[in-house]
Amino acid sequence: MSYKRWVLVAIFLFVIGLVLGLTAPAGITNLLSEDIAAFKELGGILAPFNFLTFIFILAKNVSAVLISFVLSPILCLVPILALTANGWLIAFVSASIVQEESLGFVLAGLLPHGIFELPALIMGQAAALSFGTMLILALFKRERRKLLLPSLRQSFKYLAIALALFLPGAIIETYLTPLLLT
């Protein structure tokens, strides 16, 4: 399957997560109250305009995609979960914030760095899905083994682009987004 199709699969999984996040029952907030409190505490530690915040955001995003890529041969479960969970979290948190603030506030908080981070997430997870699927097929079909190395090279190329996109995303999230939210 071509990489473009894997991108479409990744977008589809992300959109499923968005829909699930937007349709999550209101009572789920009570179940997640401890997790939400932990996120707020982490937000207090990660101060805007701080180089360590930039490093944390960049390392978190890069490591998440790399771990997903490395673990993708395990039935592609990690990339599938990463895409749907990220979509769910963005939609769920955004819906909650819209009720407290406004849609403009959410967009100001997401769009500047999201322009880089969301394509990076989609590209990185598409590369993971492509690699994981090809490796699984190569294990079971001998004729697929000769396609494994070219597929791995292609996946690495898109993975590298995705990882590079996280850099401007982390810079914007650390140094520009806080200005837009004040």
Percent above pLDDT 70 for the chain: 89
Predicted local distance difference test score (pLDDT) of residue 44: 66
**Cα angle: 109, vertex 125, 181; to 5 degrees:** 5
Find, among 65, 42, 54, the residue nearest to 113 by Cα.
Answer: 54
Q: Which whole-number Å values give the CA distances from 77 to 46, 59, 106, 111, in the listed order? A: 30, 22, 30, 28
Find the DSSP H helices in 77-144: 77-100, 103-140
Q: What is the pLDDT of residues 127-175, one digit of tens each?
A: 999 999 999 999 999 988 999 999 999 999 999 999 999 999 999 999 9
Predicted local distance difference test score (pLDDT) of residue 24: 81
Predicted local distance difference test score (pLDDT) of residue 35: 62
Domain ranges of the chain: 108-182
Predicted local distance difference test score (pLDDT) of residue 48: 87
> 50 — alpha (psi -120 to 50), left (phi > 0) or beta?
beta
Give every CB contact of residue 20 below 8 A, 6+ residues apart in sequence: 84, 87, 88, 91
Spans of the chain, pLDDT less than 70? 26-45
The position carrying tokens 């597929």 is 151
Residue 61 contacts residue 69 (beta carbons within 8 Å): no
